[in-house]
Amino acid sequence: MSRTAINDLVAVSAGVFGLALFAGLILVPAWSSYSRLWERVAASVLSLYVLAVLVGIGVAGALAVVYYWG
């Protein structure tokens, strides 16, 4: 396998593993904490919003490191 293929495999595996952990540790408890459908949907949307913000912060931090590296 080439280095690029290994990098792609590691990136995809980390993404899938991270999403599975997010679903199992955050999304499922948020969904099961409420009984009404609209409350469950709201908790899920807010959890996904938090995930998107955290991913955005991570991407911004990585871009800042790459920009200021050299």
Give per-residue pLDDT as tens, 11-23.
999 999 999 999 9
Number of domains in the chain: 1
Q: What is the identity of the amino acid at 24?
A: G
pLDDT for res 10: 96
Provide the residue range defining the domain that includes 56.
Answer: 3-68
Tell me the DSSP string of the chain. --HHHHHHHHHHHHHHHHHHHHIIIIIHHHHHT--SHHHHHHHHHHHHHHHHHHHHHHHHHHHHHHHH--
**Over its length of 70 residues, how does the chain's per-residue pLDDT go in tens digits?**
899 999 999 999 999 999 999 999 999 999 999 999 999 999 999 999 999 999 999 999 999 999 999 7
Note whether 30 and 44 are within 8 A (CB).
Answer: yes
